Amino acid sequence: MSKGRWFALALLVLLLLPGVTTQLYWNALLLWMEPDNFIPAESSMLTFEPYQISQGSSSYWLYGQDKHNYYHFTYETAHPYRYIARDNNCPGFDRNDVRSWCQALQGNAR
């Protein structure tokens, strides 16, 4: 294989690697498709993973997670999301039901 082909293959791998190993490309697409979407300040484009998306006409996240926290979109202007540590001690904790989040913190608008 020629040096040019090796270079092109290496470049392709470098471009595809973030999409395979992180949430970067998915989050970029989510932000591009729905301008009201955002990444919580406590998370990042690389690690935030929405796991429940609105089924309505908009495609914003309802619940998400990263290595440290779970997040819930609240629709409130001043505090658009709540978050709680993944290793919380809430009795009956359900990551899909914010009402069970006994120690949740409010995220602030950017």
Number of domains making up the chain: 1
Judged by phi (left if over 0) then psi (alpha if -120 to 50, else beta), residue 83 lies in beta
Range of the domain at 39: 3-107
pLDDT by residue (tens digit) across 28-66?
888 888 877 899 999 998 899 999 988 877 778 999 999
pLDDT, position 55: 84
- Burial status of residue 104 (CB atoms within 10 A of its CB: 0-12, 13-18, 19 or more): buried
pLDDT by residue (tens digit) across 73-102?
998 888 999 999 999 999 999 999 999 999
Predicted structure pTM score: 0.80
